[in-house]
């Protein structure tokens, strides 16, 4: 993500110099190599050790970083549009278009799927909320902004109908991400006010709220520009019907007015979002400065959180400068872009050195397992629910509700000869987990029953001996004409 956004910023810098585009393309090529290498390593990890995927997914922090995959991929798609399409033709535009749809689908799955896992499988507390909560949600915002870039290239290639579909889909993606990000900002603000700033190891996460602000503003501006261009080329409103007949859409003049009105409204909303981002930027800088003055801040992979959020804010700043023809925004965007480039260079050097020395990479979910991949990862639901009756579980029968439970004796020792059901079907991992669960519950029930019998015998002996002062013991209470007896304990 950091390498890709650096390439984009240098390529789109308002004030260019000779050789800058070449530098941008070199960083872009490096980004492709890094992305392919890390993706291949990740796939190999989960193919060789499948249980590690579920261990990672159920980890309350590491799973959130799945959002970095589609966001990193969008930087490649953007540079394909900026660099490869003008140089090598429309074939790369088709490739970028297809890859954008794939990336958008992955972004939707992560933006909705990871919060679902948070709701059902993670143990969270209010004081543990951090900036990394934004990572899965902001994926769709980044995809929407990239959709605006792809649509602009499609319009330039004369593929207006395809561009119209991309614009509509991008607005939907924008709507799935920006409002949720604003909700998270409220939670994160309250967490900072009540439980104070994050620890030194995670202090860089204070920059992450900049991401949805930067990409949200940039995406809105780019999509509005696409609407105006589609309307100019087709004579009809980009999001509506065509033709001047009643009920068939707006006429050409009205369509142009509506598109320009939407662009004006988009600029206003983008300015508001940019202002929110400015607040988070100042707070993040002040927070890190205060922490650095009081404590040592160790270097870790989280430091890369400086680059992408600040880079997206720089792209929004530059885009505002172009839309408003404002020199102030253009200069500020250039300064922010230069800062991101310097940060990227320093982080790349330090990360490379630490990677070579073997002191860089760390897997929290693997460390919690003692350094070895687990054999089995149970679906650890964290919410309250009533388990299904044994008769409704897979493989159950009326005579033996859980036949695989017979593979353990009374003492809990496992009998290896019962690794299969009576019908010869191998037991699955869920049944093995249920077996252990039911065995433990059965043993707990036996212990409770033994304890109840012991207490009953002690109470009976106490009653027969007088109970030390009377008033204690058991009393038979006859209820109703049927002679039903209810035993009630009479407390002193």
Query: For 80-112, how does the pLDDT look when each residue is reduced to its tens digit (9 = 90+)?
Result: 999 999 999 899 999 999 999 999 999 999 999
Q: Which of 140-154, 173-187, 316-330, 467-481 has the lowest mean pLDDT?
A: 467-481
Nearest residue to 264 via CA among 225, 307, 212 = 225
**pTM reported for the whole predicted model:** 0.78
Token pair, residue 121, equals 């499988």
Give yes or no for residue 113 having a pLDDT over 90: yes
In a domain, 369, yes or no: no
Rounded mean pLDDT, 298-317: 94
In DSSP terms, 408 is beta-bridged to 414
326 and 436 share a domain?
A: no
357 and 242 share a domain?
A: yes
Which residue has better confidence, 374 or 3?
A: 3
Which residue has better confidence, 230 or 398?
A: 230
Contact 170, 108 (CB under 8 A): no
Rounded mean pLDDT, 176-198: 96
Output the pLDDT for position 210.
95
Rounded mean pLDDT, 284-292: 95
Token pair, residue 22, equals 């070449």
Give yes or no for residue 470 having a pLDDT over 50: no
254 and 399 share a domain?
A: no
Task: Report d(CA 467, CA 483) in Å as an integer.
Answer: 28
In a domain, 173, yes or no: yes
Rounded mean pLDDT, 16-35: 96
Task: Report d(CA 144, CA 70) in Å as an integer.
Answer: 12
Task: Report d(CA 71, CA 402) in Å as an integer.
Answer: 46
Contact 220, 157 (CB under 8 A): no
| pLDDT tier for residue 482 given thresholds of 50, 70 and 90 | very low
Domain range for 449 = 390-489
Output the pLDDT for position 423.
42
395 and 358 share a domain?
A: no
Nearest residue to 423 via CA among 452, 447, 394 = 394
Task: Report d(CA 114, CA 65) in Å as an integer.
Answer: 10
In a domain, 372, yes or no: no
User: Alpha helices of 124-209 — where are they, by DSSP H?
Assistant: 134-137, 139-156, 160-195
Q: Taking the CA atoms of the chain, what radius of gyration do you get in angstroms?
A: 31
Contact 75, 5 (CB under 8 A): yes
Which residue has better confidence, 8 or 472?
A: 8
Q: pLDDT averaged over the chain? A: 83
Q: Whats the size of the chain, residue-wise?
A: 492
Token pair, residue 388, equals 């299904």
Please write the tens of the pLDDT for every residue from 193-222.
999 999 988 899 999 999 999 999 999 999
Output the pLDDT for position 437.
54
307 and 250 share a domain?
A: yes
Compute, in degrees rounded to 10, the torsion defined by CA atoms 227, 228, 234, 235: 120
Rounded mean pLDDT, 188-195: 96
27 and 122 share a domain?
A: yes
Give yes or no for residue 436 having a pLDDT over 80: no
450 and 330 share a domain?
A: no
Share of the chain above pLDDT 90, in %: 63
In a domain, 201, yes or no: yes
In a domain, 442, yes or no: yes
Q: Which of 223-227, 228-232, 460-464 has the lowest mean pLDDT?
A: 460-464
Most confident option among 71-75, 362-366, 433-437? 71-75
In a domain, 484, yes or no: yes
Residue at which a domain ends, from 347, 362, 377: 362
Rounded mean pLDDT, 241-268: 77
Output the pLDDT for position 56.
92
Give yes or no for residue 273 having a pLDDT over 50: yes
Backbone angles phi, psi at 425, to 5 degrees: -80, 130
Task: Give the DSSP letter of residue 237.
Answer: -
The number of domains in the chain is: 2
344 and 395 share a domain?
A: no
CATH code at position 285: 1.50.10.150
In a domain, 331, yes or no: yes
207 and 124 share a domain?
A: yes
Output the pLDDT for position 323.
95
Task: Report d(CA 117, CA 87) in Å as an integer.
Answer: 43
Give yes or no for residue 28 having a pLDDT over 80: yes
Contact 223, 141 (CB under 8 A): no
Output the pLDDT for position 483.
41
340 and 407 share a domain?
A: no
Share of the chain above pLDDT 70, in %: 77
Output the pLDDT for position 421.
44
In a domain, 377, yes or no: no
Give yes or no for residue 341 having a pLDDT over 90: yes
430 and 341 share a domain?
A: no
341 and 427 share a domain?
A: no
Q: Which helix (H) or strand (E) holds 370?
A: none
Give yes or no for residue 478 having a pLDDT over 60: no
């Amino acid at each position: 993500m950091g390498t890709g956004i650096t390439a984009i910023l240098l390529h789109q810098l308002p004030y260019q110099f000779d050789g800058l585009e070449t530098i941008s393309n070199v960083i872009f090529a490096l980004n492709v190599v890094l992305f392919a290498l890390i993706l291949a390593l990740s796939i190999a990890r989960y193919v060789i050790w499948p249980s590690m995927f579920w261990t990672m997914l159920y980890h309350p922090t590491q799973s959130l970083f799945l959002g970095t995959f589609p966001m990193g991929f969008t930087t490649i798609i953007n540079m394909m549009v900026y660099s490869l399409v003008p140089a090598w033709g429309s074939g790369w535009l088709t490739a970028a278009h297809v890859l954008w749809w794939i990336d958008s689908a992955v972004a939707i799955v992560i933006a909705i799927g990871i919060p679902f896992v948070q709701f059902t499988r993670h143990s969270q507390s209010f004081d543990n909320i951090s900036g990394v909560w934004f990572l899965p949600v902001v994926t769709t915002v980044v995809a929407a902004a990239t959709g605006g870039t792809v649509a602009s290239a499609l319009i330039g290639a004369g593929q207006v109908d395809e561009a119209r579909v991309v614009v509509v889909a991008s607005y939907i993606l924008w709507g799935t991400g920006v409002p949720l990000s604003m909700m998270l900002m409220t939670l994160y603000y309250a967490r900072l006010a009540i439980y104070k700033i994050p620890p030194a190891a995670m202090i860089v996460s204070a920059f992450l709220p900049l991401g949805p602000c930067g990409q949200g503003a940039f995406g809105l501006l780019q999509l509005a520009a696409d609407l105006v261009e589609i309307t100019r080329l087709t004579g009809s409103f980009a999001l509506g019907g065509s033709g001047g007949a009643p009920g068939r859409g707006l006429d050409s003049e009205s369509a142009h007015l509506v598109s320009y009105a939407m662009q004006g409204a988009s600029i206003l909303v983008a300015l508001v979002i940019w202002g929110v981002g400015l607040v988070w930027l100042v707070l993040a800088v002040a927070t890190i400065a205060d922490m650095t003055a009081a404590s040592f801040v160790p270097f870790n992979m989280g430091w890369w959180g400086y680059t992408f959020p600040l880079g997206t804010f720089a792209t929004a700043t530059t885009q505002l400068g172009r839309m408003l023809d404002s020199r102030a925004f253009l200069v500020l965007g250039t300064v922010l872009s230069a800062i991101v480039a310097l940060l990227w260079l320093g982080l790349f050097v330090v990360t490379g050195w630490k990677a070579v020395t073997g002191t860089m990479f760390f897997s929290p979910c693997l460390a919690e397992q003692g350094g070895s991949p687990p054999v089995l990862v149970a679906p650890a639901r964290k919410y309250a629910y009533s388990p299904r009756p044994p008769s409704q579980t897979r493989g159950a029968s009326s005579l033996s509700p859980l036949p695989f439970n017979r593979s353990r004796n009374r003492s809990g020792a496992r009998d290896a000869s019962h690794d299969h059901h009576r019908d010869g079907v191998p037991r699955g991992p869920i049944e093995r987990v249920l077996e252990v669960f039911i065995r433990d519950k059965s043993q707990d029930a036996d212990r409770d029953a033994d304890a109840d019998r012991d207490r009953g015998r002690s109470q009976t002996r106490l009653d027969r001996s007088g109970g030390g002062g009377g008033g204690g013991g058991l009393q038979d209470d006859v209820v109703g004409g049927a002679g039903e007896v209810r035993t009630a304990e009479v407390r002193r």
